[in-house]
Amino acid sequence: MTKSNFKDAVAKSAKALWKSLPLILGTILLVSLISILIPKSFYTSVFSKNIFLDSFIGSIIGSISAGTPITSYIFGGEMLTQGVSLLAVTAFLVAWVTVGIIQLPAEIAILGKKFALLRNITSFILSIVVAIITILILGVFK
């Protein structure tokens, strides 16, 4: 790669980042607002102790809520101490971090509709699969 090509690539990347900055900032603000508006007690009242239903509900709520990986450890620990099953918490947290219904419009604008939808659907399905596999593995090692 020549010096000229490198400069062009950096300039194009900077321009693309600058154009998407309002979308990214708006998404971050919206996610923060949703996280504050929905109380933690809501999550614990929704789960029914049914393995399949809890993983599905956990994935749906996690997909809508959206959050950051760093806060997920604290949030997951709080949910576990309030009696929510590990399966539901795992499904919720994986979807919370990987699926983004709230940020979907920004993701579509930046990455394209087909890619964004396919990524979110795949992440949703895999959040349920990961939760079930996690419980099976922990059941084997107990």
- The per-residue pLDDT of the chain, averaged, comes to 84
How high is the pLDDT of residue 44?
67
Looking at the whole model, is its pTM more than 0.75?
A: no
Question: How does residue 40 score in pLDDT terms, banded at 50, 70 and 90?
Answer: low
pLDDT at 90: 93
Q: Where are the domains of the chain?
A: 3-141
Q: d(Cα 16, Cα 93) in Å, to the nearest integer?
A: 30
pLDDT of 28: 73
Q: Does the pLDDT value for residue 73 go beyond 80? A: no
Residue with tokens 């949910």: 79
What's the pLDDT score for residue 119?
Answer: 95
